[in-house]
Amino acid sequence: MDKSSAVLLIFTGGTISMSEDSSTGALRPIDFERLQDFMPELNDIGVRFKSIPFTPFIDSSDMNPDIWEKMAMIIQKNYNDFDGFVILHGTDTMAYSASALSFMLENLSKPVIFTGAQLPIGMLRSDAKENMLTAIEIATAYENGQPIVPEVCIFFEDTLFRGNRTTKKNAEHFNAFNSYNYPPLAKAGVHIKYFRSYIHYNEPNLKLKVRTKTDRNVAILKLFPGITQHTVEAILHIPNLKAVVMESFGAGNAPRKKWLFDALKSANERGIIVVNRSQCSTGTVEMGRYETSLNLMHAGVLSAHDCTVEAIVTKLMYLLGEFSQPEQIKQKLTISLSGEMTVS
Ligand code: ASP
């Protein structure tokens, strides 16, 4: 690593920073001073670094949009002083945070790399150090004065993914993440091999714009055979609801029940945005391919194309927070804002 490079490490918490509670045996966050004792390597890696620890550290199951805002503001404040940013984060909701930041950090031109671990840093077989040290290397990888990966990413085990394409897939193995609908941006072996044609480069010299307003009035409606009208109506009548991600079958199909069509149409008429996402990990919604999705279009349902659930939920929160006109929000849902979906 290059001695003149500088990286900002933002420690939010997660398993990487936990140890076993002696009385309950459950994993809980330790404090930053103890964590540093496990990482003497940080002083030898040859890059300048500064750490910003959250106090207290959090399990990422407690993540929320206020903390996304905090992370985005830290990056904005330190943007000119560092070559790259590494965010140490629990794996459970890392894909949501990476997706949210990909929308909040408009015109990003520096690497923001999320990583974490499946085992605490103090355990012998922990994956924490390798993940963290490789993430730092990627965050400071420059060529001809330009960063190689100026995107919000997740690095885990040996793979670098675009953050808003990523999903946690495994609670057991070290390869905890996958990006089902977009190729990896890099693979780390003896060397780190970057796949540049998949990496997005913003126009150089654009000023970073940080957009932190979000609206949480979003819900997920997951369809299953036998779902009742009562369940669907109850979700679509949640007070203050502004948008729903409807998780449908296969290529975006839903039961051809008249009550479902009526409920979705009425939600649309009440100004609630309904976006159709497939329950399949791989592939895309193709509304109108089957009769079972044609009706959805007539009810005013929009397509999430091949977005992950993490990306579409956070995109909705961001759009509802930043824009007030429903037509403007709907238009932005049809386009990819930050590489989160493939639209042909
Ligand atoms: N529960 C932990 C968290 O997300 C799991 C992990 O870090 O792997 O904070």
In ligand 1, the atom with minimum distance to the C-alpha of 94 is 4
pLDDT digits (tens), the chain, 344 positions: 666 899 999 999 999 888 888 788 888 777 777 777 788 888 788 899 899 999 888 999 999 999 999 999 999 999 999 999 999 999 999 999 999 999 999 999 999 999 999 998 888 899 999 999 999 999 999 999 999 999 999 999 999 999 999 999 999 999 999 999 999 999 999 999 999 999 999 987 899 999 999 999 999 999 999 999 999 999 999 999 999 999 999 999 999 999 999 999 999 999 999 999 999 999 999 988 887 788 899 999 999 999 999 999 999 999 999 999 999 999 999 999 999 999 97
> To test the ligand 1 pocket, which listed residue (30, 59, 97) has its Cβ within 8 A of the most ligand atoms?
59
Yes or no: say if 139 and 48 are a contact pair by the CB < 8 Å rule: no
For 157, other C-beta atoms within 10 Å of its C-beta total 18
Whole-structure pTM value: 0.95
Q: How would CATH label the architecture of 6-210?
A: 3-Layer(aba) Sandwich (3.40)
* Residue 37 vs residues 7, 17, 34, 84, 201: alpha-carbon distances, Å: 19, 11, 5, 24, 37
Yes or no: say if 116 and 94 are a contact pair by the CB < 8 Å rule: yes
Both tokens of 124, joined, read 């012998």
For residues 114 and 51, what is the distance between their CA atoms, to the nearest angstrom?
Answer: 14
Domain boundaries, the chain: 6-210, 218-333
Which residues have a Cβ under 8 Å from the Cβ of 338 and sit 6 or more positions away?
A: 102, 103, 152, 164, 200
C-beta 127 within 6 A of ligand 1: no
Q: Annotated catalytic, 24? A: no
Residue nearest to atom 3 of ligand 1 (CA): 90
Q: How would CATH label the architecture of 218-333?
A: 3-Layer(aba) Sandwich (3.40)
